Amino acid sequence: MNRNMMKQAQKQLAQLQKIQDELETLQVEGTAGGGAVKIVMTGKQAVESVTIEPEAAEDIELLQDMVAAAINDASTKAQELAAQKMSVITGGMNIPGLS
């Protein structure tokens, strides 16, 4: 590997680390049931908070479905956020394992 390639690789690794750090602090919100259930998740898919409106607790099976749907919504948004941030490094190419 020549010197220019090494510098480019180091630059990309530094960018990758910066993006990974940023994803830990960025948040997305997933909702279900018209906002009756809200999940706040980091860009690295760690759940930060769960908010459930009291009326959502009246039907436990429906509540369980709404919680799952809200988590899935937040997870999808977090993945999209990560892919968007990573596109800076990958030039828009989808590289498995980087998002």
pLDDT tens digits for range 70-84: 999 999 999 999 989
Q: Is the pLDDT of residue 50 over 90?
A: yes
> Rounded CA gap, 27 and 73, in Å?
13
* The predicted structure's pLDDT at residue 45: 93
H-run or E-run covering 30:
strand 27-32
Q: What average pLDDT does the structure give for the chain?
A: 88
Stretch 54-65: mean pLDDT: 95
* The predicted structure's pLDDT at residue 99: 47
Q: How many percent of the chain have pLDDT more than 90?
A: 59
Q: Is the pLDDT of residue 94 over 60?
A: no
- The per-residue pLDDT for range 34-46, each reduced to its tens digit, is 999 999 999 999 9
Q: What is the CATH number of domain 3-90?
A: 3.30.1310.10
Stretch 57-81: mean pLDDT: 96
State the DSSP string of 65-99. HHHHHHHHHHHHHHHHHHHHHHHHHHTT---TT--
Map out the domains of the chain as residue ranges.
3-90
* The predicted structure's pLDDT at residue 26: 92
